[in-house]
Amino acid sequence: MSFPDPRMIQLVMSLRGGGVTDKDVLGAVERTPRNLFVPERFGDQAYDDRPLPIDCGQTISQPLIVALMTQALKLGDRDKVLEIGTGSGYQAAILAKLARRVYSVERYRTLSKEAEARFAELGLSNIVTRVGDGSIGWPEQAPFDRVILTASAPERPDAILEQLKEGGIAVAPVDRGNTQILVRYEKTADGIVETDLMTVRFVPLIKGEARAL
């Protein structure tokens, strides 16, 4: 008989205290072993509620931010989701437990390949990855029900928002001077409705595919 990892129990309790109320999101976090997504040298910190370094100078986001962003998407099990910035694959793995299919774009080939291996290990067959320029989204697969950016855009990401269905929701960190604000965008018949959610800190969204790594 297996018992829940006490570190995971503590993490979920921390997320609840931080404002994550969606039981489906909490359940997806609880079923996603974060230790598989962090470098081995940080394994003892895998379930701490903090960001950690990964390859290519990137980071795996703080679990609370991952959960709050996922909650803000209001995902349904038939949703088609675009993720900009695969990174370690942790965010995509959580999305995949809540949505029909996840399309994830990463500019670093190394990160994309490592994430693919983790998805295979976890049996997550509903994630499609691509190495490329995340700043232009994934036009060939548009439109999407939901979009999430895991890197901070220098301005409103209109090229990506154009790939959102009417009635769809996007969540993205956006630069506002020296501050980054997490913004929820809802696409209506009359245009885009913006709601500022919180101050965050993400790596920048960089145009183009990385030439190395």
Please name the helix (run of DSSP H) or strand (run of DSSP E) that holds residue 103, with its range, or none.
strand 101-106
Dihedral of the alpha carbons of 154, 158, 160, 163, in degrees to the nearest 10: 170
pLDDT at residue 212, rounded to an integer: 52
Q: What type of residue sits at position 9?
A: I
The confidence score (pLDDT) of residue 4 equals 67
Count CB neighbours of 133 within 10 A: 17
The CATH architecture that domain 6-200 belongs to is 3-Layer(aba) Sandwich (3.40)
What pLDDT band is residue 1 in, cutting at 50, 70 and 90? very low
pLDDT at position 14 is 96
The contacts of residue 138 (CB under 8 Å, 6+ apart) are 82, 103, 105, 130, 132, 163
Question: Measured between alpha carbons, how far is 46 from 53 in angstroms, rounded to an integer?
Answer: 11
Q: What gap in Å lies between CA 37 and CA 13, rounded to an integer? A: 20
What average pLDDT score do residues 84-112 get? 97
Predicted local confidence at residue 206, as pLDDT: 86
Predicted local distance difference test score (pLDDT) of residue 138: 97
Give me the residue label for tokens 């501050």.
179
To 10 degrees, what angle do helices 63-73 and 23-30 make?
140
**pLDDT higher than threshold 70 for residue 211:** no
Q: Can you give the residue ranges of every domain in the chain? A: 6-200
How many CB atoms within 10 Å of residue 185?
21
Alpha helices, H only, the chain: 6-17, 23-30, 63-73, 90-96, 109-122, 158-161
Average pLDDT, the chain: 94
Does residue 2 have a pLDDT over 70?
no
Active-site annotation holds for 104:
no
Between helices 63-73 and 6-17, what is the axis angle to 10°? 60
What pTM does this model have?
0.94
Residue of 2, 14, 61, 112 marked active site = 61
- How far is residue 36's CA from residue 32's CA, in Å, rounded to a whole number? 9
